[in-house]
Amino acid sequence: MHGNVLELAMDISRVTGEKIASLEQIMLKTRMLAINARLEAARAGEAGLSFSVVAREMGTVADEVNAMSAELSEAVHTNTALIEQAGRNMMLQLRGNRLADLARNAVEIMDRNLYERSCDVRWWATDSAVVDAVSAPAPDAARHASARLATILRSYTVYLDLWIADASGQIVCNGRPDRYPGLAGRDVSGESWFIDGLKTATGDDFAVCDIETNRALGGAKVAAYSTAIRMDGAERGRPVGVLGIFFDWQPQATTIVTGVSLSEDERARSRVMLLDSRMRVIASSDGRTGDTYALQADAPWGHYVKDERLVAYGLTPGYETYAGLGWYGCIDTPV
């Protein structure tokens, strides 16, 4: 619709310009005829006086028409330029709103995914095999818990591994000892996922960390979720350990930022990103992550133009009981 307004304004300007040019040509011919008529009237002497007056009036009318033509041309040009600018502004506003919606939708999709992870960790921490591995530690209990975690991992392919640590921060077992061997006995007491998980107040609570590289998992980027494992799996039971689950961030995030509904031309010229609360790029459609993006967000959702670039963004609204981590979806594209 806005494109049609611009086309109509440009057509009006073109047609009006053509008609004014034609009118100016006619007035030029009229002026030349008036000059020729005055010359002939002068040759005719007394007999041509009346005709000379008419010729002068024709020249005056031609000059007045030319002046009006010039004024009309300037007015049409000015107003058409204003209409075109207004149309461009409307198109930019419409495009910016659309991209801001897409940016917010991208981060919302991720948070819906991560909400499910928060449910998983709280649910699995009450599994009897998980509870027994730290409340009644024994080699058989650890093997049984590892087998249980392996079963879960075969169904939930979004995780790299699941770890059970006792209350002192020693890993009791993991779900993929074949892929990540030697983790049992590892001290994780200083790692944030363990510290925050052990501090959870009830079985309904969980801890989540920003995206980090985990060397023990082959240097993969992960989102770690954790919660306390409680005696008897009770909601308010005494913490006897921590369950940590490690979400395989890179493939999931890449799918989201590359799956935003852009045209092929938009996709080729745009960078779609997920930003954490520190404005660090944690996922990007061009594969570049880790840099800090200078987002100028003065509202939860919006867009702005800077250096001939249109920047659209949306703050995560969270999902259900998952408030989110203050992440943004962001799209950077040429104006």
Residue ranges of domains in the chain: 2-92, 125-252, 257-334
Model confidence at 1: pLDDT above 60: no
**Mean pLDDT, all residues of the chain:** 88
pLDDT digits (tens, 9 = 90+) for 78-108: 766 777 777 788 889 999 999 999 999 999 9
Show Cβ contacts of residue 29 under 8 Å, excluding neighbours closer than 6 positions: none
**What is the assigned CATH class of domain 125-252?**
alpha beta
Mean pLDDT within 214-240: 97
Q: What is the DSSP letter of 238?
A: P
Show Cβ contacts of residue 37 under 8 Å, excluding neighbours closer than 6 positions: 51, 52, 54, 55, 58
Tell me, yes or no, if the two domains 125-252 and 257-334 fold the same way. yes
Model confidence at 178: pLDDT above 80: yes
Please give the pLDDT value at position 77: 72
Model confidence at 216: pLDDT above 70: yes
Q: How far apart are CA 245 and CA 285, in angstroms?
A: 26
- In percent, the amount of the chain with pLDDT more than 90 equals 70
Residue recorded with tokens 């818990």: 145
Model confidence at 41: pLDDT above 90: no
Please give the pLDDT value at position 124: 98
Fold of domain 2-92:
Helix Hairpins (1.10.287)
The residues facing 271 across adjacent strands are 332
Please give the pLDDT value at position 236: 96
pLDDT digits (tens, 9 = 90+) for 310-320: 999 999 998 88
Backbone φ, ψ for residue 76 (5° rounding): -65, -45
Show Cβ contacts of residue 273 under 8 Å, excluding neighbours closer than 6 positions: 257, 281, 283, 284, 285, 293, 329, 330, 331, 332
Greater confidence (24 vs 251) lies with: 251
Model confidence at 60: pLDDT above 60: yes
- Contact 34/52 with Cβ under 8 angstroms? no
CATH number of 257-334: 3.30.450
